[in-house]
Amino acid sequence: MGLVTILYRDECLLVVNKPPGLLSQPDHSGAPDVVSRGKEMLSGETEGAPFLGLVHRLDRPASGVMALARSPEAARELSRQFRERLVEKRYVVAVEGTLQGIGAWTDYIAKPDRQPRLVDPDHPEGKRAALDWQVLESSSARTLLQVTLQTGRPHQIRLQAASRGHPVVGDDRYGASDSLPDRAVALHHVLLRADHPARPRRETFVAPPPTHWSGVLTDAMDTVLHRMLDREQPS
């Protein structure tokens, strides 16, 4: 399991690059999680235990940008932005098989037995799941996608891709043929763009993917990905 690295910090925010295998927040299992690791990083900066508010989540096997609020006020403001869909969330995803061009997927997801699954639109617990995708590079075996979420549902990208015959690389839960280190999946939250919770400015946070991605991507995919990272880095 990799280390949590800090991308940005101030009195309102702690933004980190989450490694695969880490929970977003504590649960009954006691497994390592981002919130607890973040509090350890901030220990000694404030009197008493530091506050860290969770305002969004990433699946345990996924990686990438996570923004944590360092005050209740910041948590409320960031939560409002996520709720009103004012936050841009961009992912890079390697899937099995070949896709071309651009597209959009809309489905419905429910958790009738606490496990996310696609359901019919008229399912009583179904919630709309929508995303846009664009091919960055492809080979005969895999495709590197840029995905922009319009909604944020549990396992959304993984379910929607797998249901179309293109499981995320490493995602054996949803039919992938290969596994990755740390039971990771090749799904990385590469960019988060939101208004600062206390200042009148738009912030952009960009996270490089885990090192094991070098074994997932072709040379052409790796080149395209790093060009995108360089282009999106805040000046």
Q: Are 167 and 96 in contact (CB under 8 A)?
A: yes
For residue 207, what pLDDT band results from cuts at 50, 70 and 90? very high
Q: How far apart are CA 76 and CA 54, in angstroms?
A: 10
Q: How far apart are CA 12 and CA 131, in angstroms?
A: 29
Query: What is the token pair recorded at 212?
Result: 């094991």
For residue 169, what pLDDT band results from cuts at 50, 70 and 90? very high
Q: Can you give the residue range of the structural domain that contains 109?
A: 5-232
Strands 5-9, 202-206: pairing is unpaired
Nearest to 64 by CA among 168, 209, 214: 209
User: Model confidence over 97-154: pLDDT tens digits?
Assistant: 999 999 999 999 999 888 999 999 999 999 999 999 999 999 999 999 999 999 989 9
Residues recognised as catalytic: 59
Query: What is the token pair recorded at 51?
Result: 């506050």
Query: How many domains would you assign to the chain?
Result: 1
Per the DSSP assignment, residues forming a β-bridge with 126 are none
CATH code assigned at 72:
3.30.2350.10
Count CB neighbours of 135 within 10 A.
17
Q: Which residue has the tokens 């990799």?
A: 2
